[in-house]
Amino acid sequence: MLKLIKNALIHAPDPLGIGHIVIAGERIVYLGSTMPDLPDLFETEVFDAEGAPVVPGLIDGHAHITGGGGETGPASRVPPMGLSSFTKAGVTSVVGVLGTDDLTRNTQTLVQQAYGLRDEGLSAWCHTGGYHVPLTTLTGSARGDIVFLDPVIGVGELAISDHRSSQPTLDEFLRIASEAHVAGLMTGKAGIVHCHMGDGERGLSMLEQAIATSEIPARVFNPTHINRNKPLFEQAVALARHGCYVDATAFPCEHVDPGISAADAYLQFRDAGDKVDRFTISSDGGGCLPAFDHDGNLTRFGVGLCDILPETLAELVRAGVPLSEALAPFTSNVADLLKLHRKGRLKVGMDADLVVLDENLAVRHVMAGGEWHVREGQVARRGMYEQG
């Protein structure tokens, strides 16, 4: 069956005006302003967008798909994330990571969870390793995991400047980065080191040293949580000028202090005159959002949700950022960083991942891989163990 989405206000993310989209299977086969004349031979499902914005499916480049947490004991482990945790937020592609607990959770379970989400209709990948060195891997090396395991596209989230990290040396860090980079060259995958940035005073100094003292391209070094405090964000602005992609976390409002929101981080990054195509925003969905005192004692605990991504998108538009520009940190920028060549844009040949927004830019309908997952704001397709 073909699917025709007509009268869509298309942001691809570039604004294309009112147009029509034809989908065959999992791909977009037509996109244009002229209504296509589809032969009666083909059964066609028609959806009238009635002038509503139709945008690429969001790509969440950092989510704990197997669950995060564990900092206050076994009961604090966050459960794995279900399919609709992503789709109801307009997320059609996700990259899973391990965090503090890369011992009772490992690359094996992460890869298996990615395959499970794929079976349910989501596009899913993951990184190998976690906070600590030596990395937790499946094949015995980061390079082997990236080369031989289809869902694995990089290393992460490796903890830097954090009391929970294994305090890697510069040499250890560069060895990991070299493995990721070479594996990326061998496979065409992203081959990045996705770095969890903590609140430590060293900030991004290890990444700065790595760029200054090695031949590894700057794009390999990908810091996340860069908006968790203001000094770290200022360092990230400078680091991006070397060619790094930097990732802000869309923290819930009660977890923003002492940092800045992802929307404000983007606005400040933009005002600094830096290349906004190197800026991405992710959710930390399924991960814990802890705060610690100077002795390492937990003082606050929360859980990240993907729902914050469309809320952040709407916040950027309310702040005066054009929708087409505001979409990029959630779509095309992430696709470019992760080398997901059929994601992040709406055009012929791309995967049929799209979101229909309402007048308030809330998620109304979601299509992933050519199938409707959310209709009229309600989940239409659930994971195997999700409650109806």
* pLDDT of the residue at 74: 85
- Which CATH architecture is the domain 2-55+345-379 placed in? Roll (2.30)
* pLDDT of the residue at 302: 73
* pLDDT of the residue at 300: 65
For domain 57-338, the CATH superfamily is Metal-dependent hydrolases (3.20.20.140)
* pLDDT of the residue at 42: 85
* pLDDT at position 298 over 70: no
What's the CA gap between 34 and 22, in Å, rounded? 11
The answer to whether the bond into 15 is cis (omega within 30° of 0) is no
* pLDDT at position 299 over 70: no
Residue 140 burial (CB count, 10 A) = 9
* pLDDT of the residue at 355: 98
Bridge partners of residue 77, in order along the sequence: 69
Domains of the chain by residue range: 2-55+345-379, 57-338
User: Which whole number is the average pLDDT over 124-152?
Assistant: 97
pLDDT in tens, 239-248: 999 999 999 9
* pLDDT of the residue at 184: 98
* pLDDT of the residue at 279: 97
Bridge partners of residue 126, in order along the sequence: 96, 152
pLDDT in tens, 307-317: 999 999 999 99
Active site annotation includes 336:
no
Three-state secondary structure string covering 211-224: HHHCCCCHHHEEEE
pLDDT in tens, 64-92: 999 987 777 888 888 899 999 999 999 99
Percent of the chain past pLDDT 70, that is, above it, reads 97
The band of 290, judged by pLDDT with boundaries at 50, 70 and 90, is low
What's the CA gap between 8 and 55, in Å, rounded? 9
pLDDT in tens, 151-197: 999 999 999 999 999 999 999 999 999 999 999 999 999 999 999 99
pLDDT in tens, 328-355: 999 999 999 999 999 999 999 999 999 9
Q: Both tokens of residue 373? A: 């997952």
Q: What is the chain's mean pLDDT, rounded? A: 94
The band of 273, judged by pLDDT with boundaries at 50, 70 and 90, is confident
Which of 2-6, 172-176, 287-291 is the least confident region?
Answer: 287-291
The band of 388, judged by pLDDT with boundaries at 50, 70 and 90, is low
* pLDDT at position 47 over 70: yes
Catalytic residue among 145, 162, 284, 307: 284
User: Which whole number is the average pLDDT over 98-123?
Assistant: 96
Query: What are the distances in angstroms from CA 286 to CA 1, 131, 260, 363?
Result: 35, 16, 21, 20
Q: Does the reported pTM lie above 0.85?
A: yes
Is the distance from CB of 314 to CB of 90 less than 8 angstroms?
no
pLDDT in tens, 214-260: 999 999 999 999 999 999 999 999 999 999 999 999 998 878 888 99
The band of 29, judged by pLDDT with boundaries at 50, 70 and 90, is very high
b/e sequence 245-261, b meaning 16+ C-beta within 10 Å: bbbbbbbbeebbeebbb
* pLDDT at position 283 over 90: yes
Q: Phi/psi class of residue 26: alpha, beta or left (left: φ > 0; alpha: ψ in -120 to 50)?
A: alpha
